[in-house]
Amino acid sequence: MSIRQRTIDAIERRPIDTVPYHIRFTGPARDKMAGFYGDPGFEVRLGNCLSMHRARRIAEVRPGVWRDEFGVEWDRSIDTDIGVVVSTLIAPGTLGDFEFPDPGDPSLYADFEAAGNEFGDTLAVAKLSYNLFERAWSLAGMENLLTAMIDDPRFVHTLLDRLTEYYLAIIENVCRWSIDAILFGDDWGHQGGLMMGPHLWREFIKPRITQLYQAAKARGKYVFIHCCGAVQELFDELIECGLDVFNPFQPEAMDVFEMKKQFGDRLSFYGGISTQKTLPFGTVSQVRDETHRLLDEVGSTGGLIASPAHAIPADAKPENIAAMIQVLQNQ
């Protein structure tokens, strides 16, 4: 069976012979593993089941500072993978004058053009990062946005409507390529729950993600979301909106085995291996045990893409990462 077909079977929650998996690294962790294996090209031999392609443009504009297609600047001098927003571009009085990027700009799709429709034996995924809430706070400031949900909801609704219109156009454009799925990215949670609470999430976020998810579904694409934190109280509603696969499936934020029991007949998961505890602080034996248990109890009946909950951080032990990889490859 091909990796792509096995991944489709997993998403469709059909029993499978081998659980598909996908492993991503932060830059420092990748460098560490290249040294551990003595092989800078080790990633091409991992057997990953997904190929990720971003609809995005970002460039370094001064040392350590990167600017994206919206004009948001990210300081990567400390966090070299994502960065910290250092600019506020939108306020209630200036939203009408702010010029959104052109969703038809070819430079946004350079990653897709480079790949063509040659995605190999993988599930091809269009990765749309910083949708809605994340993009809104990156433009207006997180404190400003959360405060405005109470003090100036009209501003928030207007901003989110414009973002929804933009991402609907992006969805239409990425579907020109033979992708299989769209991965939306929007962190609504911390590890104790929702940042804005369920009431405000339902007012501001739910109607708009429904539009985005259904636009993807109408074009025959699977819907993934990456949403950090303890957001499991939303699973029923996310399924209603059209979600197929939830990521990162953090064992620090939710009981992954209980989530499988409660939602595994309606929702598939991508993640599940601890990047906060086991990979950095566990033993090789603990890593093997955790990975085996996830495969056996969550993945054996379908419904799982096994993966570290996030891109592997710099503090993960190389021997632990290698142990996880060995278990995943030797199913």
Query: Beta-carbon neighbour count of residue 130 at 10 Å?
Result: 22
- Cis omega before residue 248 (within 30°)? yes
Taking all residues of the chain, what is their mean pLDDT, rounded to a whole number? 96
Give the rounded distance of the alpha carbon of 224 from its chain centre. Answer: 8
For residue 37, what is the domain's CATH number? Answer: 3.20.20.210
* pLDDT at residue number 81: 86
List, in order, residues 6 or more apart from 120 with CB less than 8 Å away. 51
Cα 43 to Cα 212: distance, rounded to the nearest angstrom: 32
Q: How many structural domains comprise the chain?
A: 1
Span 268-325, pLDDT tens digits: 999 999 999 999 999 999 999 999 999 999 999 999 999 999 999 999 999 999 999 9
State pTM to two decimals.
Answer: 0.96
Domain, as residue range, for 25: 3-329
- Residue of higher predicted confidence among 26 and 80: 26
- Residue of higher predicted confidence among 80 and 171: 171
